Amino acid sequence: MDEILQKVKEIDIRQVARDLGFDVIQTRRMLCPFHAEDTPSLVFYPPPQNEFHCFGCGKRGDVINLYADVCQIDFKTALDELAIKYIPYYEGYGSIKTRKIDIKSIYTRKPVQEKRFVFQTKFSEIYEDFQKFCLNLPATESARKAAEYLRGRGIDDWTIRHFKLFVLKNYGLANDYLKEKYKTEDLIASGIVNERGNLVFFKHPIIIPYYQNDRIVYLQGRTIGEPSEGTNKYQFMTGIPRTIFNIDLLKKLPGNSEVYVTEGAFDCMTLFRQGLSAVSLGSAKTFKKEWVKYFKKFKVWIWFDNDDAGKKGTIDLMEELYLNGITVDRKYLPDGIKDINEFFQKK
Ligand SMILES: [Zn+2]
């Protein structure tokens, strides 16, 4: 079964989309069947990645997900049907089905009413109170290690103060403080604690606050140094939509300014310290359509990481911004340098 799964995952996703009757434009894009739109924002990543991603509604997946969701069947059925249709000599449980998909009705299908997230001011209050509590605690060993680590990455005291980074110096105390002061349901809704009511930054004591209109609207945690096996470098908050890091800068800049768009927050801080106007998206694939408006009056430089995700993300974002009439170009990193932060460290 695993072998078949692998083979099916390799069937060119654009071919499957075409066979379903969709109009795939220049082998790259099509109108998204999962939300209502007039201009195509569903992008295909050709093999070997073989996935789709909609910049409009954020839906993404592989060829089996696409087929299953368009046909409204489960994953296993989709896998079997695709195997019967596309894999030679596969003997599945049925005969080849040519699904009659009414493309027109799919496009007018009411978008699934998803639970709309409403950001509440009290979330900002919780984040800011948490920040204040952490800053007021006396220095600890982990605070010293965090500062040392940040300095090692070229994030100096000025930068730390400017971006108001802070360290979760004492997990237990901060946890107790929040639990005592706020309702558990509010803490969970704000994304700062998990379902069990504990702070999500257990292994990620360096906290990067995201500000919008001078209020903290998101928190991102970072491990001190490289993470241990099975831990991610970053801890994001689940259920809370992330905004652009350093977004308030864009309001202050005059038109036609040059703006650098980076992946990681540390890359953004590094460029900012160099005197450049920079914002970061958190990753190479998280750009949202509703963010286009923030960049309308600028000349945008995209400067992502030097890996496959960064390179693909650069091309997609350039296309997205270009199609929206924004002047956009890209910067390159030299071979062997993984990101902007490292580039300026080694310079
Ligand atoms: Zn969509």
Report domain extents, the chain.
2-108, 121-235, 248-346
CATH topology of domain 121-235: DNA primase DNAg catalytic core, N-terminal domain (3.90.980)
From CA 12, how far away is CA 26, in angstroms rounded? 15
Domain 248-346 belongs in CATH node 3.40.630.30: no
Report yes or no: 47 and 8 within 8 Å, Cβ to Cβ.
no
Distance 265 CA to ligand 1 centre (A): 27
| pLDDT mean by block of 10 residues, the chain; 347 residues | 89 94 87 86 91 88 95 91 87 66 72 65 97 94 92 94 96 96 94 92 96 96 91 88 95 96 96 97 88 96 95 92 94 95 91
Q: Is there a shared CATH topology between the 121-235 domain and the 248-346 domain?
A: no
From CA 257, how far away is CA 70, in angstroms rounded? 42
From CA 70, how far away is CA 193, in angstroms rounded? 35
Distance 202 CA to ligand 1 centre (A): 34
Domain 2-108 belongs in CATH node 3.10.620.30: no
Distance 119 CA to ligand 1 centre (A): 22
Distance 285 CA to ligand 1 centre (A): 15
Distance 37 CA to ligand 1 centre (A): 8
State the complex-level ipTM. Answer: 0.98
Distance 118 CA to ligand 1 centre (A): 20
Distance 244 CA to ligand 1 centre (A): 20
From CA 77, how far away is CA 74, in angstroms rounded? 6
From CA 344, how far away is CA 235, in angstroms rounded? 25
Q: What confidence tens digit (pLDDT) does each residue in 71-124 have?
A: 989 999 999 999 988 988 877 666 666 676 777 777 776 554 445 678 889 999
Residue 303: its H or E element? strand 299-303
Q: What share of the chain has pLDDT > 90, as a percent?
A: 68
Distance 186 CA to ligand 1 centre (A): 30
